[in-house]
Amino acid sequence: MVTGDGAYIKKINRSLILKTIIEHGMISRAELAKITGLNKATISIQVAALLEEDLIYETQQEHNAVGRRPIMLSIKRDVGYVLGIDLDYKEIQYTLSDLLGYPVHHEKIFLDSEDYEEIVLLLVEHIQKYHKNCSHSRYGLISTVIGIHGTVNKEEEDIFFIPRYKWHSKSLKSDLKEKVNFDLNIHIENNANLSSYAEKVYHYHKSDNLLNIILSSGIGAGIMVDGHIHKGYHGYAGEMGHMIISPEGALCKCGNHGCWELYAAEPRLYEQLAQRLDKPVITQNEFYNLVNEKHPIVYEEMEIFIKYLSIGLNNIINLYNPETIVLNSEVLQAYPNVIEKIKGNLVSSVSQYGEIVLSKLGKDACIMGACAIAIQNFFEVPELIFSDSEKHIPFTNHKIEILNN
């Protein structure tokens, strides 16, 4: 039983009510009481407060039954916005989301520079632009969460290392807060952690033990244990690309030999194909065309790629016994029957897992996870579920016009 003073209990009840309204999209007071177990008086008091804060609104449902039409409660999704940012190598993606996790604006910019100070100023410029364009809403721009393709300290949220930029020990959060000309909640998080969170929030709601493996620039993993992101002691858990699978293998930039990402990350596959096909590079579109043509060299290299991918997955499965493994890879999306082929390589009688699936979010996973975490923090709910249910109010006409100056 939860005990505490009245203010604490009220906060718990508020969180439970908001969580339930978000999950169901539209719900009556009676259903709220039934699902949460709270009495009608508590529901009435809490709902009145949320209406006054402009966080929810009421609608009256049409129905053919005799009697009074039920009054439904929904989140007022356009009273505030959150900004998700994916800071990748040579590009930055920005997604502005309403309070139900629906994107209302998205843009991608390409970078000419790898200089930390220049990129900080660019981030500041865009954050301030989004803040200005959200000023019409009651709560404005509530928060921004930035996904980093590297290691992030969990206490101060400082960047420990971003391999492709070669940035060491950068206080991005502090630098942004110092330069942004208004008060804003800013959080920094590893991209794989955000991606795993997005997979749970948007698709795999009931999977409390979920692993999200990203095979793009290297191999990173987001780990959900008992419904929470597992970060490890410093915050650096999930760097599974540097698990050694071949002790006498190739030298990795990390200093070890035979790291997993040297054999089962997408760049390695493209390098191998370019070498065997005697081309300087292989583009993504060229790869897709070659797969569609069933080019024998591509199929040979893909079988090798899947073999090494499966070796790493076998190790991870034995370590974590996951319920759901989500593989985020455009290469795997393009290859036929790939999940069956991977499962065929996982033959150990010891290794146990629930399911292996391909990500439905793809490259948007990081940025959608960033938006979702910002929304969860704003509402202060213990768990966030964005359902695809038709009960959600359809997204209609509140897109944000973003100014360029």
What pLDDT digit, counting tens, does each position of 367-384 carry? Answer: 999 999 999 999 999 889
The burial class, CB within 10 Å (0-12 / 13-18 / 19+), for 10 is middle
In 89-215, which ranges are continuous DSSP H helix? 116-133, 172-179, 191-202
For the stretch 255-279, pLDDT in tens is 899 999 999 999 999 999 999 999 9
Q: What global pTM score does this model have?
A: 0.89
DSSP 233: T
Angle between the N-to-C axes of helices 296-320 and 338-345, in degrees from 0 to 180, rounded to the nearest 10:
60
What is the pLDDT at residue 398?
A: 47
For the stretch 190-205, pLDDT in tens is 999 999 999 999 999 9
Contact 231, 192 (CB under 8 A): no
User: What's the whole-number average pLDDT of the chain?
Assistant: 90
For the stretch 339-352, pLDDT in tens is 999 999 998 878 88
The burial class, CB within 10 Å (0-12 / 13-18 / 19+), for 296 is exposed
Nearest to 250 by CA among 310, 308, 331, 327: 308
What is the pLDDT at residue 4?
A: 56
6 — pLDDT class (breaks 50, 70, 90): confident
404 — pLDDT class (breaks 50, 70, 90): very low
User: Does the pLDDT at position 387 exceed 80?
Assistant: no
405 — pLDDT class (breaks 50, 70, 90): very low
**What is the token pair recorded at 334?**
């393009």
User: Does the pLDDT at position 394 exceed 50?
Assistant: no
User: Does the pLDDT at position 393 exceed 50?
Assistant: no
For the stretch 154-168, pLDDT in tens is 888 999 988 888 899
* Residue 303 three-state SS: helix
**What is the token pair recorded at 77?**
């999704």
Which of 110-124, 244-258, 361-375, 386-400 is least confident?
386-400
C-alpha torsion sign, points 233, 239, 240, 246? negative
Encode burial over 28-64: b for 16+ CB neighbours within 10 A, e otherwise: bbebbbeebebeeebbeebbeebeeeebbeeeeeeee
What is the pLDDT at residue 66?
A: 60
Domains along the sequence of the chain with CATH: 6-75 (1.10.10.10), 80-196+364-379 (3.30.420.40), 206-359 (3.30.420.40)
The Cα 375–Cα 102 span in angstroms is: 11
184 — pLDDT class (breaks 50, 70, 90): very high
Contact 40, 29 (CB under 8 A): yes
Q: How far is C-alpha 133 from the chain's CA centre?
A: 24
For the stretch 281-306, pLDDT in tens is 999 999 999 999 999 999 999 999 99
What is the pLDDT at residue 61?
A: 72
Contact 95, 368 (CB under 8 A): yes
253 — pLDDT class (breaks 50, 70, 90): confident
User: Does the pLDDT at position 400 exceed 90?
Assistant: no
Contact 224, 207 (CB under 8 A): yes
The Cα 128–Cα 33 span in angstroms is: 41
User: Does the pLDDT at position 67 exceed 70?
Assistant: no
Nearest to 202 by CA among 354, 376, 27, 50: 376
Count of beta carbons in the 10 Å neighbourhood of residue 355: 13
What is the pLDDT at residue 347?
A: 84
**CB within 8 Å of 85: residues ≥ 6 apart:** 92, 93, 94, 95, 123, 126, 144, 145, 146, 147, 367, 370
Mean pLDDT, residues 125-139 = 96
Contact 191, 328 (CB under 8 A): no
User: Does the pLDDT at position 1 exceed 50?
Assistant: no
What is the pLDDT at residue 396?
A: 41
- Which residue do the tokens 């100014």 mark? 403
